[in-house]
Structure 1
Amino acid sequence: MSFTTARKWAMLEVIIIVALALVPLFVTFPYRVNIFLSWEGAYRLSSGQIPYKDFGLPLGYGYWIIPALFFKIFGPQMITLVKAQVFINIMAGLAFRSILKSLGATSGVRLLSVLVFALSYSFSNFWPWYNHTVIVYELVGLSFLLRAIFAEQVRSRFLWLAVAALFVFLSLFTKQDGGGMAFMLCLGLLTYNSAVTRRWWDVPVFAAMYIAIALLFILPLMPSFGYWFNHGQPPHSSRLAMNDFTDEIMGNSNWIKGYVVLAALCVAARVKQWSTWILQRQEVLFVLVTVGILGEAAIFQVTSYTPPDNNIFFHSFAFAFIATYLCELLQVNINQGKALLGAAFLVLFWWSGTWWKYVGRFTDRLFPAQELLGISDPTKENVVSRRNYILNYDSTDVPVAKWVYTDLPVFRKIYMPASTVKGMERVLALPVVREKKEGIKVLNMTELTPLAVVMPYKLETGSDYPLWYHLGVGMFNKQLTAFTQKVQQHHYDLVLYEYAPTLNNFYPFALREELRQNYQLVDSFLAPRRPTNAVIEVYVKP
């Protein structure tokens, strides 16, 4: 392939990655469930607070680095998190493209795979979340690791290994499960490559670099880091059981198992002499990366079970591998116009669920659904369809279509239930808020963490202070006891508590009982989540 042709392919791939990543900048959003955690962690970091010194969390702080930098540049508005995610999605797409390039995927397959990756994994991720960022850091680390594997010069190889070690550690420092599997996958790839090339120093050098980087990050954070960072030690628990894995993998995981079968058939049909094939580094590494990603996805869906589509990064890797082998076996030139265009249309049809919801808004107007009649009117025929065969009697539910915007700048382009918006206005109008202003002591156990900027109030700090309040996950009995004592002593001027009865101690239930005994409940309104099954309660000193 000529340089000019290669440059055109590269431009097309980058255009797909960047164009789909930029879409969120031109739309508005409903308030995202759990995004409060992303906001507060980024806000604390951007304000100069130090993790495990000023606040604790059971993860590393790698996830919050990019959002915190964007807060520094653009300010702490909620929409800044979306801008940070645009950058993360571009970084992910470029890393995936680099991996395929190192593994020798043809231009046509690489272009289609980038399209699959962008549609299946990036396009639906408008907001940053650690279960996504952990994989992005892994992809960046893998892209640099593969560059090191195929580098001929020792200096270049060790430089790429160092950068790979940094990002693979950031993956671990974002979330332990994905990051740990990323490290093991890298060791597996390096071990195979060392066995073939006899470059035995690569494995210990990479491991040493990884450990050195880990120590540089961790040692300044001790001793509180040892308490907060979850590696299964008390008060943490693994929260996993062997049958969680067997039930999910054997009972479900049909996409992953189907890809494994197809990949195995492709390899069996392609390989004629195993002893020769095992020495073809590029081909074998392609197999190892694909199998490793599929295995990681199978485990990740159990260890990171919410939301349920955390592990869909495997689709693009499996597609790239299977398409590469099938095009060769079937002698299809996917690099040519008609074949490539037809395949692109099939990919768009395959992943239409990610983009049709936007097109569907226009088709719903062109072809409105039949009016649903006769539920309580005996003079009209009752119409039963897929839209109304189940009746919803939840009177508390507020459809997203009825959510509204607020004038508060920190929530620009974000809409919420009207009850939430009016409730925030009433909180800001409370005498205790107006009179004390920045000196007010607030405990905000809700998803409205950006109120710290709106009021404003100073966030509490301390090595034992949790970043979020999910009992048994983000805080433990030690922290609950401390909060209980402060409530009993009337330490806070204002307490905002979110009561989510269907979530297991999402905010500690025991503390609500203390608030009802020691504080005065003056207001309540809907929490900004979907479905609207949680309320925010407002407490002041009696």
Structure 2
Amino acid sequence: MSNPFLTPRRAMILECLLIVGLACVPLFATFPYRVNIFLSWEGAYRMSEGQMPYRDFGMPLGYGYWIVPALFFKLFGPQLISLVKAQVFLNIVGGLSFRYILQQMRVSPGVRLLSVIVFVLSYSFVNFWPWYNNTVIIYQLVGLAFLFRGLGSGRWKWPAIFLAGAFTFLSFFTKQDGGGLALLLALALLGYHSLNARRWQELAAFLGSYVLVACIFIIPAAQYGFGYWFNHGQPPHSSRLALMDFIDVFLMESQWIKFYFALIVILMFPAIKNIRSLWQNRELMLFLLLTVGILVEATLFQVTSYTPPDNNIFFHGFAIAFIFSRIYDISAIRFENLKPFLLTAMAILLWWSASYYKYIQRILSQLSHTEEVAAVPGGENVVNRHNFMVNLDTTDVPTGKWTFSSLPEFRKIYMPPSTVAGIDRVMALPEVKKGKDAKVLNLTELTPLDHAIGYTQETGPEVPLWHHLGVAMFNKQLAAYTERVRNKHYDLILYEYAPTLNNFFPWALRNELQQHYRKIDSFHAPRRPTNAYIEVFVR
């Protein structure tokens, strides 16, 4: 191939510009309040204030997820927008790790750049808020990048193996299901390497580093009820492992995963003809194991972490990288040449247009002032895709009418006008004027009010990080809160009533509040649809 458009250096520059450039786009945007982001803020805030997980608050998973957001709170302050900045950093780390994995797989520059485009558009660009179902994958990617470096040679071999074990554990200590699958995939890759090379040092070193880092994180927390809080399927937690759920979701859904599986099988036909030769082809076998492992992980992860529904879309970039590499190997197509690269890149941009069009749509919607139902001569009933359904939800407030709070904790985040006005009324309450001496129980999504009010938070091994009954708090904690409410321990209680969510904030506690406290205010919760309410109770 003479004078290709994509030289290795040019591809590297374009990949890095793409990863960093698209990751930074959210820094220049404003955002509606994100559903469930309250627990991200709360964990990051508590840790940034020096509170120790399990000693000062409990949660049903490890605290690996909150390490980066807590650091960004220390750097930029406990604002919601600091969480976006933390995710920018994580997206850059994830994108560079993905790129390095493909580099270690000796993927050609053209295929690698196209795969990076798919990865960024399909996965990282749409994740501009941090979430543990995303961070668990970021840590896994970092661990895999170090693992493949450690399976090579050179002076950084053993430090890379150690870091592979450390980040793979951090993945597990962020979310048990994704992190456990990350460990199994790493062991599969190390198992093949050990059998193929007939040496076990790398496997032993990886396991040793994994156990060592696990001990460093877990032993200090063991005396504070770590076994009670950390969910490994034991009571009061419930397991999400149900065979029929896996079968149903895989066979009735998972269209892209099954499509990729089929393509991989077809493209592997030439190599499967000689199994022994395939086994000895170390690069191809590791790449195949990695890709199939990622697809299997995505299949299981979509069941165990079922909300939001796009948690598992990290697999597209890996699948495309393997499929394009096989096409590259068995055909005359060279993606380093300008025409094949541009045509394929344009097809990818069209394929993932939903990722970036939402930013364009936001601008277009501000420029367009068309009515949903235009008046026509004769008064005909015009039915179209915008109005064929009748919206009977009288509580809904379109995000176009949302506005901003004056509190710095909510900077660049817009919410329903009712929420903003309600926050202002809360901040004017005499109970709030007590500041750090106020006794406040915040059972809402508006956790940044913790810092805005400035009260001293409750701490202890029995205090849950968030108040989702049956997930992050249990009957034991509910009983303790109930007793405090009956004794009128708190000056101010903020409760979120979400009737369509199954006991997300315990309904039994609301019944106690109605008996022992006085409700003085109610306003919209910052979610869509706006059918949940923040209720304000005082003694």
How high is the TM-score relative to the length of structure 2? Answer: 0.97
Q: CA deviation at 1:156?
A: 3.1
Residues in 1 aligned to 2:401 and 2:368: alpha-carbon distance in whole angstroms: 21
Which runs of 5 or more structure 2 residues have no equivalent in the other structure? Answer: none
Matches within 5 A, 1:87-486: 87-151=89-153, 153=154, 156-223=156-223, 224-364=225-365, 372-373=373-374, 379-434=378-433, 436-486=434-484
Which runs of 5 or more structure 1 residues have no equivalent in the other structure? Answer: none
Q: CA deviation at 1:450?
A: 0.5
Residues in 2 aligned to 1:31 and 1:404: alpha-carbon distance in whole angstroms: 10
Partner secondary structure for residue 426 of structure 1: helix
Residues in 1 aligned to 2:514 and 2:251: alpha-carbon distance in whole angstroms: 47
Q: CA deviation at 1:271?
A: 4.7
How high is the TM-score relative to the length of structure 1? Answer: 0.96
| Letter paired with 2:333 | V
Pick one of 521, 529, 533 that aligns with 1:535. Answer: 533
Residues in 1 aligned to 2:392 and 2:378: alpha-carbon distance in whole angstroms: 23
Partner secondary structure for residue 306 of structure 2: coil
Partner secondary structure for residue 461 of structure 1: coil
Residues in 1 aligned to 2:299 and 2:369: alpha-carbon distance in whole angstroms: 41
Contact 1:499 1:536 in 2 (8 A): yes
Q: CA deviation at 1:337?
A: 1.2
User: Number of aligned pairs?
Assistant: 535
Q: CA deviation at 1:363?
A: 4.6
Q: CA deviation at 1:533?
A: 1.1
Partner secondary structure for residue 209 of structure 1: helix
Distance 1:476 1:362, change over 3 A: closer
Partner secondary structure for residue 310 of structure 1: coil
Residues in 2 aligned to 1:432 and 1:58: alpha-carbon distance in whole angstroms: 32
Partner secondary structure for residue 199 of structure 2: coil
Pick one of 40, 58, 61 that aligns with 1:59. Answer: 61
Partner secondary structure for residue 156 of structure 2: helix
The answer on 1:497 being equivalent to 2:498 is no
Contact 1:373 1:382 in 2 (8 A): no
Corresponding residue for 1:518?
Answer: 516
Contact 1:433 1:455 in 2 (8 A): yes
Residues in 1 aligned to 2:392 and 2:297: alpha-carbon distance in whole angstroms: 41
Q: CA deviation at 1:365?
A: 6.5
Q: CA deviation at 1:362?
A: 4.5
Moved over 4 A (4+): 362-371
Contact 2:44 2:73 in 1 (8 A): yes
Deviations 1:360-394 (A, max 9, x none): 345556776575146xx995111101111101121
Residues in 2 aligned to 1:515 and 1:76: alpha-carbon distance in whole angstroms: 29
Distance 1:489 1:391, change over 3 A: same
| Letter paired with 1:188 | A
Deviations 1:115-163 (A, max 9, x none): 1000000101110000000000000000100111122x4x632211100
Contact 1:373 1:380 in 2 (8 A): no
Deviates more, 1:532-541 or 1:450-459: 450-459
Residues in 1 aligned to 2:536 and 2:364: alpha-carbon distance in whole angstroms: 43
The answer on 1:41 being equivalent to 2:43 is yes
Partner secondary structure for residue 268 of structure 2: helix
Residues in 1 aligned to 2:245 and 2:343: alpha-carbon distance in whole angstroms: 41
Contact 1:496 1:539 in 2 (8 A): yes
Q: CA deviation at 1:437?
A: 2.3
Deviations 1:202-231 (A, max 9, x none): 212211211111011100011311110001
Q: CA deviation at 1:26?
A: 0.3
Pick one of 21, 24, 27 that aligns with 2:26. Answer: 24
Quote the sequence identity (%): 58
Q: CA deviation at 1:251?
A: 1.4
Deviates more, 1:27-36 or 1:155-164: 155-164
Corresponding residue for 2:12?
Answer: 10
Distance 1:453 1:304, change over 3 A: same
| Letter paired with 2:122 | S
Q: CA deviation at 1:408?
A: 0.7
Contact 2:372 2:387 in 1 (8 A): no
